Amino acid sequence: MDLAAPFDARTRLGLVLPMLVVVVVGIAVTAATASRSQDVRQQALERFSQAEANNTARILSLRLQQDGHAVERMGARLAIRGGAMPESEWRADAGAYLSDKPWLRALYVADETGVQWVEPEGGPAMAGLVGAPGGTGMSQSDMLGRLHAGAVARFEDGSDGMTAYYPFADGTGGVRVLVALFDIAAMLRASRPAYDEDFDVALTASTDGPRLAGSGRAVDPGTPYGSSAPVTTSYDVGWTLHTAPTSSFVRRMQPRTGLGVWMSGIGLTLLGASLAFMAQLARRQAVRLADVDAVRRTSEQRYNLVVRGMAVGVWDWGIRDNTLGWSPNAMRMLGLPPDHKVADAGFFFDRIHPDDQPAVREAIEAHFEMGEPYAPNFRMRHEHGHFVWCHATGQVLLDETGEPVRMAGSIEDITEERAAEEARNRSERRLRAVTQSAVDAVLTTNAQGIIEEANPACERVFGYRPDELVGSNIRILTPTEHRRKHDYYIKHYIETGDSNIVGKVREVYGVHRDGHEIPIELAVTEYKAGDDRIFIATARDLSARKAGEAEREAFIARLEQTNAELERFNFAASHDLREPLRMIGNFSQMLLRKHAGQLDENARKAVEICAGSAQRMQALLDDLISFSRASDDLGQIETFIPVDMIELARQNLAEDFESSQASLETVHLPAKLRTNPTRFSRVFQNLIANSIKYAKDGEAPKIQISAAPYEQGWLFTLSDKGIGMRPEYCEQIFEPFKRLHPASKYSGTGMGLAICRKIVNNAGGRIWAESELGEGSRFYVYWPEAPMDTDAAAAVNMTGSDDSMTEGESA
């Protein structure tokens, strides 16, 4: 926007209008002021006039009083002399009296016959007296010796005057009168020299109306601004003074004042109008600047939006004419072609989801009225019928009167963000549900270790309610001696990222509310939310498990002890029993050999039974000894070739092979095996011997040994085609002394398979059988490879007892 651009007509009107208003108001105020000032002036003139009247009347009244007293004194002097005063003396007295009183025209002494003396000589002759003494019905004696003033006189020249007369008795019994004749005009002139020019004055007597003028200029009491004041009353004659400003004076006053008001009014009006204009201009410029700023901001926003990519659209709403600009990106957002024509702003409002429309309207109103940022989220209908979530931003532009003119901004499809947010919220809710119902205590803390959340399980594990924990430091759950260490770990981790806690599962001790320590399995993970680091600790109470473990370990220890005792007893007993048994066997043999002839048939059979039993007993004891030794440690561990060890077993059983015509086949045996070779050979020797022993009558035993990789070692399978057994016996045959046949039919102790199982189990493997009666049997042996690093340990632990294990074994 160009600040220097000329204003449009509307703006020009906006600039001039306030100025015109000021002019009209100024003129009105000036007129009112002028009118008011006119009133004030009139009142002032009236007051002025009244004051003039009052003052002049008071002066006149005083003068009349003074002069009256002088006349009275003169009359008194005449009365004392009884009129016998020589004329020269009277003349001197009267001359002195008249000398400084220009308004006193003459003094007369008269009697009934006429004027006796006049001073000054040849003074104005009176045309007559109006209201002369006695005229009001007073008797002459009442009037004698008293001054009477106020009668109207009329001079021969037509001018008006006033008389004051003093009747006195002359010495001859007659009455004479001293008369003073006042010239009213002169008296008025002498009384009011200052305002002579500006006011017309007149003294009127009630007997003669206004005709009696004193100033030489007639005053009509009805004249504008005229005033009057009483001067004196005598013989029912009321003398009143009238004043009125001269027309020139009134004129002089009026035009000056009115013009002044108008001049000032117009001056102030013009000043006000210019100020209004300047203010409007300044405001308009400020609005323009704001517009420029807003436009700059909008264009910056637009630029940013463009940079941000295709998903963001731009819109521009002409509020006065309800037009709407809707950018191609925004069109695409709603599935419309980029050049889709928009009729008006209704396009936007109609597409908003009905549930969201009130919120959008409210956001616009709040932006217009309170200047709140416009940034609502709402749904808009896509061309395909579904709704897309939108985020809009906008900025209104106001005209110079503050009315919204335009609003422009951006619109963005946030459906995906919204879905992601909802998914996040859902997963957060799920997570919360999980932690709320979790058996383990789950706590979150900030980087300072302050607990922010705790689940209900915390109460079961630590004895604190979740609300008691929130806000506390996690240290309250740590045993005192570990607290400092814990603080160090967290601090160290935050500073270096090295952790002894975070990301690991450890068994540690926590402390219960009641003070006792609890073994816990602690897993701490870290979650970063912006700059905040949140630690999530899961604590599993191991008390029960630990108690169970301890119990089991104690039980195992007891069992092992008992076992060891039993084995020791077994071993010792077998050893100790061997000796007497050998004696029984030897002596039985000796009896049969050397004294057979001395024995009858029955005795000889008894001795034979005795010798056979001793032999079986011997075998039994040997097996028992082997069995008790089979649980020793692993013995010598070596890497050997399994076929070799099986061959060794075969050689040990060479006689059996020969007598039974048995055949042995080995298939897929491993090239190498790492375990104790003697024991390996011993197990297979037992199994092969059984297969030969439990062959079907009249059939040469056929034995096959195969192997396949299995778990951490090999699974060997030995199968024969012998008599087999019912499946339910397949497990029982591994129990010590368990036999399925009488010794008379198949020799044996029932210890062979028990020894095998003990050896295999001891090596970490398993042995089991599958069979059907008459269908042959399969024996499975899982033999794990011994780990490499056990060599040294095994060598140290080697007792050499392995060799003795073969001693006296039976199959």
Q: Are strands 702-710 and 713-720 parallel, antiparallel or unpaired?
A: antiparallel
Element (H, E) at 451: strand 451-454
Of the candidate residues 725, 730, 767, 781, the single one contacting ligand ADP (CB under 6 A): 725
Please state the closest distance from residue 617 (CB atom) to ligand ADP, in A: 14
Q: 539 or 695: whose CB is closer to ligand ADP?
A: 695
**Under 8 Å between Cβ of 234 and 148:** yes
Please state the closest distance from residue 778 (CB atom) to ligand ADP, in A: 9
In angstroms, the CA 618 to CA 631 distance is: 21
Please state the closest distance from residue 738 (CB atom) to ligand ADP, in A: 6
* Residue 685 interacting with ligand ADP (CB under 6 A): no
In angstroms, the CA 164 to CA 151 distance is: 7
* Residue 690 interacting with ligand ADP (CB under 6 A): yes
Please state the closest distance from residue 633 (CB atom) to ligand ADP, in A: 24
Residue 662 has a CB neighbour count (10 Å cut-off) of: 21
* 535-570 exposure pattern, b = at least 16 Cβ within 10 A, e = fewer: bbbbbbbbeeeeeeeeeeeeeeeeeeeeeeeebeeb
Closest-by-Cβ residue to ligand ADP is 748
**Under 8 Å between Cβ of 537 and 453:** no
Of the candidate residues 108, 166, 317, 694, the single one contacting ligand ADP (CB under 6 A): 694
The CA-CA-CA angle for residues 480, 486, 488, to 5°, reads 120
Residue 471 has a CB neighbour count (10 Å cut-off) of: 9
Please state the closest distance from residue 538 (CB atom) to ligand ADP, in A: 52
Q: 318 or 736: whose CB is closer to ligand ADP?
A: 736
Q: 163 or 685: whose CB is closer to ligand ADP?
A: 685
* Residue 722 interacting with ligand ADP (CB under 6 A): yes
* Residue 691 interacting with ligand ADP (CB under 6 A): yes
* Residue 619 interacting with ligand ADP (CB under 6 A): no
Region near ligand ADP per CB under 6 A, out of 383-391, 447-455, 488-496, 716-724: 716-724
Q: 257 or 615: whose CB is closer to ligand ADP?
A: 615
Q: Which of 148, 168, 147 is nearest to 78 (CA)?
A: 168
* Residue 723 interacting with ligand ADP (CB under 6 A): yes
Q: 185 or 759: whose CB is closer to ligand ADP?
A: 759
Q: 285 or 661: whose CB is closer to ligand ADP?
A: 661
* Residue 777 interacting with ligand ADP (CB under 6 A): yes
Please state the closest distance from residue 669 (CB atom) to ligand ADP, in A: 20
**Under 8 Å between Cβ of 755 and 630:** yes
Q: How many residues bind ligand ADP (CB under 6 A)?
A: 20
Q: 192 or 693: whose CB is closer to ligand ADP?
A: 693
Of the candidate residues 164, 363, 733, 763, the single one contacting ligand ADP (CB under 6 A): 733
Copy the structure tokens of residue 196.
Answer: 């002579």
Q: 53 or 751: whose CB is closer to ligand ADP?
A: 751
Q: Measured in Å, how far apart are the chain's first and last C-alpha atoms?
A: 112
Please state the closest distance from residue 784 (CB atom) to ligand ADP, in A: 23
**Under 8 Å between Cβ of 442 and 536:** yes
Q: 269 or 749: whose CB is closer to ligand ADP?
A: 749
Please state the closest distance from residue 804 (CB atom) to ligand ADP, in A: 20
Q: Are strands 663-667 and 702-710 parallel, antiparallel or unpaired?
A: parallel
Site string for ligand ADP, 737-776 (x = CB under 6 A): -xxxx------xxxxxx-----------------------
Q: Which of 282, 261, 269 is nearest to 22 (CA)?
A: 269
Q: Are strands 713-720 and 777-784 parallel, antiparallel or unpaired?
A: antiparallel
Q: 95 or 774: whose CB is closer to ligand ADP?
A: 774
Return the DSSP state at 146.
S
Burial of 128 (0-12, 13-18, 19+ CB in 10 A): exposed
Site string for ligand ADP, 380-399 (x = CB under 6 A): --------------------
Residue 439 has a CB neighbour count (10 Å cut-off) of: 10
Q: 352 or 683: whose CB is closer to ligand ADP?
A: 683
Q: Which of 54, 170, 65 is nearest to 113 (CA)?
A: 170
Which residues here bind ligand ADP, judged by CB under 6 A? 690-691, 694, 720, 722-725, 733, 738-741, 748-753, 777
